[in-house]
Amino acid sequence: GAVVSQHPSWVICKSGTSVKIECRSLDFQATTMFWYRQFPKQSLMLMATSNEGSKATYEQGVEKDKFLINHASLTLSTLTVTSAHPEDSSFYICSAIHLSHEQFFGPGTRLTVL
Amino acid sequence: QKEVEQNSGPLSVPEGAIASLNCTYSDRGSQSFFWYRQYSGKSPELIMFIYSNGDKEDGRFTAQLNKASQYVSLLIRDSQPSDSATYLCALRHDGNQFYFGTGTSLTVIP
């Protein structure tokens, strides 16, 4: 299958700082990428849809000023958690849509805010 | 009404048995269907996709789609302890809209 990478895998930061997470499709171009969040023992929660060259579409209840998404190229989308707080601690997962319409997930980024 | 419904389980099967995972969906306009496996603490991994009625086999896995009854299932033959995970059913609508079920937890008992 197609490969999607995320960086970093783990990040620990202090409350009030910002954290940037990168999502890359390594062997294909993706006009659409998704960002999910998953709390322990809970389901995936879609946060936003990231489309190359346009503004992201956020799901209801997700603050767009807090979770900044930039899809600068066909292989890279970034999620910046601004002014992170302990309640933002979670597992953030991106995915990319292949031309075949299959959705491939990155390995995830575990964020811990102290 | 949720787009995709899955029994959360847990489902337990003995090693070597067939595990059957089921998923129902509400929108007849759904175009393609996916099964993902998610190990604890890891991200989902695509196992199979199916978009035509009938069965699709890949190794020990068989996906079954019945559009008239609006269900999709995944059969795992010769279940192994390493198959213990949460299995997510997903469907795709036009415009790359994806909907996920909440997942079924499977435990294969050695």
User: Are the beta carbons of B29 and B97 closer than 8 angstroms?
Assistant: no
Residue-wise pLDDT for A27-63, tens only, equals 999 989 999 999 988 889 999 999 888 889 999 999 9
Nearest to A105 among B31, B44, B103 (CB): B44
Instruction: Report CB contact under 8 Å: A102, B45.
Output: no
pLDDT of A97 reads 92
pLDDT of A92 reads 98
Measured in angstroms, the CA of B80 and the nearest CA of chain A are apart by 22
The count of other CB atoms within 10 Å of the CB of residue B55 is 12
Name every residue in B having a CB less than 8 A away from some CB of A: 31-32, 34, 36, 41-46, 49, 88, 90, 92, 96, 98, 100, 102-103
pLDDT of A103 reads 93
pLDDT of B1 reads 55
Task: Count chain A–chain B contacts defined by CB atoms under 8 A.
Answer: 39
Residue-wise pLDDT for B30-52, tens only, equals 889 999 999 999 999 999 999 99
Contacts of A103 in chain B (CB under 8 A): 34, 46, 90, 92, 98
User: What is the distance between the alpha carbons of residues A26 and B10, in angstroms, rounded to a whole number?
Assistant: 35
Measured in angstroms, the CA of A18 and the nearest CA of chain B are apart by 23
Which of A46, A105, A109 is best to mutate for the B interface (most B CBs within 10 A)? A105
User: Are the beta carbons of A58 and A36 closer than 8 angstroms?
Assistant: no
Instruction: Report CB contact under 8 Å: B36, A105.
Output: yes
Beta strands in chain B (DSSP E): 4-6, 11-14, 19-25, 32-38, 45-50, 54-58, 61-66, 71-76, 85-93, 97-100, 104-109
Q: How, if at all, do strands B85-93 and B97-100 pair?
A: antiparallel
pLDDT of A69 reads 95
pLDDT exceeds cutoff 80 at B95: no
pLDDT exceeds cutoff 70 at B2: no
